[in-house]
Structure 1
Amino acid sequence: MISPESLQLGMMLAETGMLEHAVTEVMAKPQLLVMTEASPNAKASVKRHVRKWRHSVKRRLSNDCITEELKQEIQAYQDAVAMSQQAFRDNAKSLMKSLEGKSSFYLKARRMIEKNIAQETPMFQAYFCNKWYQHLAGAIQAAQEKELEAHKEKLLKELYQRMETYRELEDVQEHGDAEKTGRLWDLASSKVTQSDVALLKRFVAFLKDNQDLQDIAETLGRMANDVDDPSLQRSPAEELQMVEEPADNVADDIVGIHQSDHLEKLVPNEAIYLAEPALEILFYKHFADKRLLTYRMQGMQRSLRKVKAFKPESKQVDIEKGPFLICVDASGSMSGFPEQCAKAMAYALMQIAVKEDRDCSVMIFSTDHIGYELTGEDGLKEALNFLSYSFHGGTDLEPVLTHSVDLMGTDKYRNADLVVISDFIAPEQPDEVKQKVDELKAQHNRFHAINLSKYGNPAVMSMFDHVWDYHPSLMGRLLKRF
């Protein structure tokens, strides 16, 4: 098992300038510069994407790039450092043998041991371990650089793909208003064809011509802000409190080893350099460069600081909004104009969800139900699959409603909105489903019905908090462009 000191070595190297250099190199690519200078919205999205990548890669560089063989060599190094001088002389050749075929340090180690072990030089162990440490540091850094280069190439490929899709989607949005229609960059991870772009443009135009649908979507999206529950506050008020927090200047516990110039925390093996005049200069050099191996100390100290605290009396807070769960009736009776309305409404809610950093998923149902994650990593691809789906079959509301109610009872769906879009030509739901819906309403979840028919069953719609009727006359439909 790799020791804490060895992990600290990996962390120390990961925090060098490698990552910063990689980020600077990526952001200086001509293709990215041209795009980000032309579009401020795109520039902010690219920077956010690269920051997220940097954080993810830093964790991987600290751990993943250290192979099993390198871990074993690090463990052998730690064993050598901890040995007494006599034990080191007795085991030096077996240590050297353990490196054969596994480490590029083997030949150098063998020459050093064969030349010096018989002379019983007092400082040889410290000198040998110092050379071994330098080799390990170089090996870890080389592994990290190789791993970082692979991650950087993958990042550039993803950025170029998103740029291509982003340009295709810019024309879809009204007046290029990214705030109104959602962050395009977050949906641009998949390739789009000209037919995909044409399909999205059709629904943007449909929403523009059916403004009432857009108004319903925006009204529905604002309801999550009206919940008065302190546990849902994202930005609670601040107040001063006495808190305990970790501090490096409080020497309660030893938590690892790092390089510094703190003589009072010196690892005993480092003092071996001072016992031999020929090697004493190395000690002072490491001290001047702040490269002495010293214990990393940490403890808890009390301090007065501002902390986040929930205050129910405060109304001007940012509420944590739950996901949208949209159930769309895909029966044959919904084909034609109702089908276009249902898809356009789901698309409008997806745009609101992306803008407000909310999850959004759609389940289409007839005799069975199919799910689409519209704001996931492949959200654009999922949205296009949903918008391309042809409605047919019968209406069976109970299975999808039961499944949706079960989902709404999980922690992920706190302060969430369930939206059922249908003609509601369906039988009344069982009392068990109605009871679960009532219980979830008391927990700040909302249930909405968008009725696209004049013949919907009132008994079914009575279980919802809000019901919107949208079924323009035949003449009104003929005047719409689609």
Structure 2
Amino acid sequence: MAGLTKKKYDINFYAKVVEKFVQTGECAENAYGETEDPLYLYLLSIMNNPSIKLQVLENEVHARIFYDITTQFVWQFLEQEKFQMQRAQSELGEMESALNWIKEKRDGWQALLRKIKEDYKENAFDEPFYEHMFGDKEQQHDPSVWEKMLSDWEDSFQQKLQEQKEKNLNDRKDFLEKKLKTSLSKIPEYLEEHQVEQEEFFQAWSMMNGLWNTIDFESIRKIVKLQKEYPELLKVANRMGRIADDEGSKQVYVTEGSVYKLSHSQKSDILGVTTGNDLNALLPSELLYYSDSELQDVFMLKYFTQKLQTFRYKSEIMQPSRRLEAKPAVLKGPMIVCLDTSGSMTGKPEKMANSLLIKLIEIAELQDRECFLISFSVATRTIDVRRERQKLMEFFSHPFTGDTDATRMLKDTFRMLDQNRYMNADILLISDFRIPKCKPELIKQMQANREKGTFFYGLQIGIAPNDWVEYFDHMYKVEYQVSRRN
């Protein structure tokens, strides 16, 4: 039953396809050796749309909007497909049972054929042929006949799944395409009108699951803005992200071959004017064709016939492409954020903590690092912030309350380090540090992990006495003005 083990692509596969497109503009159909998967082919059709490509490669904001909306669409589609596969498990079990019928020579083939005929009457299952074959008692116990019947059953099963997948995709296409069109147009307009900085947008947008609305955006943006009011928050984020200049990182260029490299930065070595369809080198006059709805057809015709007027550069367009990579002196492990959610953190401390958490999530996404949140007061809760976004949204909606006890939080942290064998983890404890000291054995375990390469950082919000400083690699501190409007 080889077809049942047919390779299924996960969210990471599709995300890499989209990521490569927004970075380079490449979306070759044979790049990944896949020609039958309807979701993959649909993504290619979107990415090969000149209008979409032009907008996505225009700037990083458009690229980010496209990436997040598209990957969110893929994730939802795969979740639906996963649900349908779970419903199909009972039928897979029946196929396995039928294999035993071959060995045990049991009767019951009539009922089985009726079921297959009913379920796959539109999928070319040849029920009359097998009814004739099994009507002969000798053929009825012939393993080769059963194996062929099971093979045809499996083929019909796979065909039906494929058709259902294509139907589900067709039902969702209009929604995605309208959402992309609206978002790529309206969001940049809003950002320009309200003078939203790019970094503010990236952080706030990352919390919105690709669902744009100005009320939620401005609410999150206010929290993000605290990073300017309290620069220490960014210092902590940079230390956790290991992007400080004194870390020993260096830039390395890696040759990748000769490809068309479409970047968001503009070239400065203009030599003259030529014709082609390089969207990154268009003359401003050509952009006018695209921006005018009545002239877009002219633009598309010139694009497909490579007649667009473009700048020509001394460096030429075809050249060995090089990717800039940062090679850190130390491998980056996961980031684990331990956040005190007790009642004493209510108000401004809670907002500052959430602002820092949003920034760290953005860094984790950019660096493709694992990032976990362990919220604690007396009880604890652990969230994989990159994979459990719904739980993260629920966390942000609940107020901070209760007493403080670091015992369970430290135990959960050490358990996570040990079970996953994490190396070079960066652990951050955010609190006002009105925390009773833990038992000596937990402090010793903390020191033992530091000796293995785990870094412990603390961010104290407020001016309470802090007896924990000596146990951390570095303790940051933020003071704030207490007011009734916290």
Q: Same fold (TM over 0.5)?
A: yes
Aligned residues: 363
Which residue does the alignment assign to 2:113? 99
Matching residue within 2, 11, 14 for 1:7:
2
1:38-53 alignment runs, 5 A limit: 38=55, 39-44=62-67
Q: TM-score, normalised by structure 1?
A: 0.56
Give the conservation status (yes or no) of the 8 Å contact 2:113–2:131: no
1:41-440 alignment runs, 5 A limit: 41-44=64-67, 67-68=91-92, 71=95, 75=99, 99-100=113-114, 102-103=116-117, 105-110=126-131, 136=153, 139-149=156-166, 152=169, 156=173, 171=191, 175-177=197-199, 181=202, 188-189=208-209, 191=211, 194-222=214-242, 319-332=331-344, 334-378=345-389, 382-383=392-393, 385-411=394-420, 413-440=422-449
| Displacement after TM superposition at 1:347 (Å) | 2.1
Change (3 A) 1:10 1:461: closer
| d(CA) in 1 for partners of 2:5, 2:439 | 60
| Displacement after TM superposition at 1:72 (Å) | 6.8
Give the conservation status (yes or no) of the 8 Å contact 2:458–2:476: yes
Structure 1: gaps of 5 or more residues:
1-5, 83-90, 229-234, 238-314
| d(CA) in 1 for partners of 2:34, 2:212 | 37
Which residue does the alignment assign to 2:475? 467
Give the conservation status (yes or no) of the 8 Å contact 1:328–1:362: no
Structure 1 position 441 matched with structure 2 position 461: no
Which residue does the alignment assign to 2:285? none
| Displacement after TM superposition at 1:422 (Å) | 1.9
| Displacement after TM superposition at 1:45 (Å) | 5.3
Give the conservation status (yes or no) of the 8 Å contact 1:324–1:358: no
| Displacement after TM superposition at 1:46 (Å) | 6.4
Change (3 A) 1:466 1:174: farther
Q: TM-score, normalised by structure 2?
A: 0.55
Give the conservation status (yes or no) of the 8 Å contact 2:73–2:176: no
Structure 2: gaps of 5 or more residues:
10-31, 56-61, 255-326
Q: Which string of whole-angstrom CA distances, capped at 9 and with x for unpartnered residues, describes residues 150-171 of structure 1?
A: 5535875995798589977995
Give the conservation status (yes or no) of the 8 Å contact 1:227–1:444: no
CA RMSD of aligned residues (A): 5.6
If you compute each CA radius of gyration, which structure gives the higher value, 1 or 2?
A: 1
The one-letter amino acid of 1:176's match is Q
Give the conservation status (yes or no) of the 8 Å contact 1:27–1:33: no
Change (3 A) 1:433 1:174: farther
Which residue does the alignment assign to 1:304? none
| d(CA) in 1 for partners of 2:158, 2:88 | 13
| Identity across the alignment (%) | 16
